[in-house]
Structure 1
Amino acid sequence: GLNSPLEGLGYSGMLWDEIISKRLVNFNDYVYDFTVEHPHHNFITNNFVVSNCGVRLMRTNLTLPDVKDKLRHLLAALFNNIPCGLGSTSSLKLPFHELKQVLKKGAKWAVERGYGSAEDLERTEDYGRMEGADPEKVSQRALKRGKNQLGTLGSGNHFLEIDLVEEIYLPQVAEVFGIARNQIVVTIHCGSRGLGYQVCDDHLARMRHVVDKYHISLPDRQLSCAPLTSPEGEDYFAGMAAAANYAWTNRQIIMHWTREVFQRVLNL
């Protein structure tokens, strides 16, 4: 166990730090992560592709006294307006042709339909859209899993939190992002839901059948892969890019609904 809190996240066991250098080690074997010489280091995974499971931070101009007496109302309203949990579905029911537009356009699709503003896109990595996405590389099964899940959190480690900024570790960076002590912020962690999971599952199954063709030896079947320039690799990238665009859209919609909850409950 931890005998003292670590800088960063208290007793959680996580540490904020910077990688300032790296060096090549002569090691003739499989390597799945970087070796970081720190007593509390666990790992940074290498070669694991995730379909844009990410965290979005929402700034506010509020402090704790502004929300303290309304926290219960805020939480209840968030639960009522943003579906969460295993198999959760959204009030948005998209036909397949519209869902394919989501996979192409990403968060821009949401903004065009009133879920947020152009300013949101300017403050989103890659403007909330990944190039190279091809909805035709997403299976019908994946589309079915994703058509009713836009604007949902899901389960596992996905979350929506109302947070209070207690400490600033990099003042210059915080200033650029407009973050200050005692500020209320909201963090949203979610990804591409069942659609992204199915995209990955479909393409891993396909690549599992071609590893011999590309003379790839696998220590584990779950590490199935193909050269990026191969037909299988290109299709996988195009499908995962589409899933990434779904994830950006998902977080954009959740953020918009969260804004509406704050405005309504706090009379902003």
Structure 2
Amino acid sequence: MASVQIDMVRLARPAASKGDGGSGGVAGGGGGVFLSPRALSQLDELTAFRYAHSFPHGRLTVRALTPADDAESDALVRLLASSFAENVRWAPAQRYEQLLAFVIRRYLYERRGLAPHAAVLVGYYRPAATGDGEEEEGGEGEDDDGEMACTAEVSLDAVGAPGAPPTPTPPLEFPYICNMTVKTSLRRRGIGKQLLKACEDLIIKMDAKKRVYLHCRIIDQIPFNMYRKAGYNIVQTDSILVWLSLQKRKHLMSKELLQTSVSSESTTKDFDDNILSS
């Protein structure tokens, strides 16, 4: 079982028109949006968003991908394509990964154009000093140091909701977390748990509705346990008939977030079982 979870990335083009919920209408082309003054303020908040967490083994910093992050986009495409290819059994993983790269790149372009109604989060990991080199520098503004370790997508409202969400279908007007994955070499270190917390922190700071949804495949017991420990409960489960479409059955899970930020700067040793899996 590969230690990665991607909640069935929706590679379909986002819907061309959705209600704006009073925060901006959808623009034509590229999945962009016309931004109201409130949405412009939210965009600034999204650009400034940072979530940091220190482990005994290193430091994780999570931020939102912006349209200007071309270099980061290339690394993100490789991370997602590699993660999807791990789950393929009917084609050579390398060939399938190359095929996915173009589709994922276009998908990310569409999703970034929906900011601040949706956000793609990327996490960077820097190992702790081992004693044979310089000490780790964890100062402000150095969150891009280290390697890209993880990613997740957050839809904050109906405008940013995916055009083709998995079943059971979540309510589009509520925040939705999906497409979570951790780099293979960095799994089993608690990064998945902190990535989930970063998503929740963003939802709170963006003043979105506090009930958040996500999917978890029934066969993915490890992430299911992580979600349950984090306070998520099953809302609905796929019918067994989804097997007819060659899909894995999934739980739709939900959680009511607290009103306070969950941003982390603490140190933890409770990371062995906090991984993502598919």
User: TM-score normalized by structure 1?
Assistant: 0.28
* Greater strand share, structure number: 2
Q: Which has the higher helix share?
A: 1
Higher alpha-carbon Rg: 1
**Which of 1 and 2 has higher RCO (CA within 8 Å, sep 6+)?**
1
